[in-house]
Chains A and B, each alone.
Chain A
């Protein structure tokens, strides 16, 4: 997990450690982020600048198997759940990037028997 000066982001990933070849596996990810829309005003009437995650990617054994572009309408602490088919043993690599140089990664190993 990397942390940026701007946003120390905590990540929570729930993915199986092992699976049988051909299994459909569910992956759940949660990341700490305020997702400031850029449309709100503070108490002095100034526009609060947009500060959101703009992209999420999940790579499985090097190949992107799931990606999402985020918009300001996404709630804080974005939660994603998606499925893939277990094919080979390999790393699951997750990355979140966004405004103000936000970048966080997480890695998990999947062993396929």
Chain B
């Protein structure tokens, strides 16, 4: 942790020393985090039978058909075959939810069905069941392009996400953009700084030894710059997720991916 912080601080100095900033990444230069991984990690993602995230997908599949809540209803009871009904759904989240008057990410959407339609309690953030359902639903979009909805109601939230993305934060005083737009491809504490795309989530991170959501990843980056991570489900996460999605529009969904 200390060493990482020191290297981050060194990186800050380097970042400041770079006079011209690269700015937003042109669509043709966008690269999935997959491309910067070792051959071994890519092989793990490529083969479902050795990708540990498959264990979560199978759990999610079982939960999809399990009755839950006071309504004693399963997801499948209303939505039928996920291969049909959930195809492409994750690829267009976060999406605007009328009742909340705000965008919700896919995990929040799952919990809305738990509370609104199953009369069940929401699943805790990052709980195995929520992550498993999200990985299973996300799997139905694999290979499809990310397509954030062209919904005018999302505009202020997108603007908020972009502002957060470009704002310096934390004791190390770096913005997301300084790493992911200006310094991608360079080394940081033994890692290659990726462009920071959300196309693989939820994914199996070897460091976590588990599958985690995009919010968990964002928490890691926030603590990396020694900023206080927002509470799970804070609107600012959803705004950031929305901006990251729009920034990655057209890139193919890899869920559930593998990352170091």
A interface list, Cβ under 8 A from B: 10, 12, 14, 28, 30, 32, 34-35, 75-77, 79, 81
- A12 near B209: Cβ-Cβ < 8 Å: no
Q: Chain A contacts of B209 at CB under 8 A?
A: 34-35, 75-77
Instruction: Give Cα distance in the complex from A35 to B59, angstroms.
Output: 18
How far does the alpha carbon of A30 sit from the alpha carbon of B209 in the complex, in Å? 13
30 contacts between A and B (CB under 8 A): A10-B55, A10-B58, A10-B59, A12-B49, A12-B54, A12-B55, A12-B58, A14-B49, A14-B50, A28-B49, A28-B50, A30-B49, A30-B50, A30-B52, A30-B54, A30-B55, A32-B55, A34-B209, A35-B209, A75-B206, A75-B209, A76-B52, A76-B209, A76-B210, A77-B52, A77-B55, A77-B209, A79-B50, A79-B52, A81-B50
* Mask of B219-246 contacts with A, CB within 8 angstroms, 1/0: 0000000000000000000000000000
List of B residues within 8 angstroms of A77 by Cβ: 52, 55, 209
Residues on the A chain within 8 Å of B49, using CB: 12, 14, 28, 30
Chain A residues in 8 Å Cβ range of B206: 75
CA separation between A79 and B52, bound complex, in Å? 8
CA distance A81 to B54 in the complex (A): 17
User: In the complex, what's the smallest C-beta–C-beta distance from B118 to chain A, in angstroms?
Assistant: 21
Neighbouring A residues of B50 by C-beta, 8 Å? 14, 28, 30, 79, 81
Which residues from B are CB-within-8-Å of A12? Answer: 49, 54-55, 58
The distance from the CB of A6 to the nearest CB of chain B, in whole angstroms, is: 14
> Using Cβ atoms and an 8 Å threshold, which residues of chain B touch A14?
49-50
Contacts of B58 in A (CB 8 A): 10, 12
The docked-state distance in angstroms from the alpha carbon of A75 to that of B59 is 20
Q: Which of A10, A34, A75, A79 lies at the interface centre, i.e. has the most chain B CB atoms within 10 A of its CB?
A: A10
Tell me the minimal C-beta distance from A108 to chain B in angstroms.
12
- Cα separation A32 to B204 with both chains bound (whole Å): 13
Interface centre among A34, A35, A79, A81 (most CB of B within 10 A): A79
